Amino acid sequence: MTQALGVHYLLELRDCDPRIIDDLPEVQRILLEAARRSRATIIDTVFRKFSPQGISGVVIIAESHFSIHTWPEYRYAAVDIYTCGRIDPLSAVGYMIEEFRSGNPAFVMLKRGLLPQPFEDLQFRLGRPRLPVQEDPNEISEWFFLDFINPSSANLIKARRLIFSARSPYQEIEILDTQAFGKCLMLDGRMQSAQADEFIYHEALVHPAMVTHPNPESVLIVGGGEGATLREVLRHRTVRRAVMVDIDRQVVEACRLFLPEWSDGAFEDPRTELVIDDARHYLTSTDEQFDVIIMDITEPLENGPSAPLVTYEMFQIVRSHLKPQGIVAHQSGSTGTSELHFFASMYKTLRAVFRYVAPYSIQITSFAMPWGIVIASDALDPRTLTADEVDRRLRARCEVEKLRFYDGAVHQALFALPRYMRSMLEELGQVLYDDGPPLYRPIDYAITIG
């Protein structure tokens, strides 16, 4: 392993608490404690407060230095750590992210004085990467980023290129090219869809409900901005009209431009009607009823656009827009052993509204966890279909050779939940109401590393 003369960490701490980063004694305390935690030998300090705001400071250590400059008005702090000895700067990085309460941290680690230097510098980014959009597909700038699964665990993914980045009124939108999963759609720093395995999620979300219905002609899709859910719905030749309602026009437009293989021409299909609107507003503004409703929404983060779409009151609205033999499929969060509370709550909330409720789980590699879906109906139960009947309906309606995941055997297997999951669905969760507490809060990226 090639040795370096020193290691240099450049920290980008965004969305900090502006009061903390404008408090001279507190900033000095945090940097000194960070140096102590890294087991550095402190020699001297110089800190200065500027008017009207902002702080600069340096902690001189025997191994080199820690330095900081803050912009409270932008909630931003730039931190520089250089070490040339056997100390532990990663523990200092994690500590400062926590203490400055950075909601969107990133850092780059550079090895200094490599002779020779056979490898590119390895760049780590916590949360969302902040690089210029690279329009040239041959322009590669590899780095790793963390896709946070929950506040205590994350998936480390190697990205090759930032294809698109924008902030809509509702969320942060990014499209990345990754080494393991190809192109990926990220919303608010969370993996939503990956080129390598999106077909598993979208086929599993759409076809069990569509096949269970004897003749689905009208379909409503809530969310699904990539267009892949729409693509799978339109595989059924029985469909005469598919209405897709998504609140975020920028997601839809970005996916149509940069991820066209997701929709595969579905937006241009004459059966498609695209509506840019809040789904709850749309449903309360129309009397139309549908054979199938597919709820492909983002996680219902507190104060986020999807939060009002997972409650008892919302499902009563959904039920009123289903025809007598109507059926709904709803993506319902992770089914990992430590993440089942929301899945159980979705199951219980739908069960409080519908006669038949059928939960199932699929494995999505790019999500780094299993994922849950719940089907509900007053008239239809997908668990009653035999594998032969599923295959017969698929052959009559679809070009089955284009399906890569779903068939009759898979349909039956989906609903065979393991014993622990069946038990936890009964033991965990609660019926969700409009005025109830949120189950999903934005993940705090201020984690401790090392």
Torsion of CA 229, 232, 236, 241, to 10 degrees: 30
Q: Bridge partners of 124? A: 144
Cβ density class 93-125: b for 16+ within 10 Å, e for less: bbbbbbbbbbbbbbbebebeeeeeeeeeeebbb
Rounded distance, CA 144 to CA 155, Å?
A: 10
Q: Which residues are part of the catalytic machinery?
A: 296
Question: DSSP letters along 317-384, please?
Answer: HHHHTEEEEEEEEEEEEE-STTSHHHHHHHHHHHHTT-SEEEEEEEEEGGGTEEEEEEEEESS--GGG
Rounded distance, CA 124 to CA 363, Å?
A: 27
Residues 6+ apart with CB under 8 A from 121: 108, 109, 110, 111
| 3-state helix/strand/coil string of 212-269 | HCCCCCEEEEEECCCCHHHHHHCCCCCCCEEEEEECCHHHHHHHHHHCHHHHCCHHHC
For residue 294, what are its two tokens? 């597919």
Question: H/E element holding 172?
Answer: strand 172-178
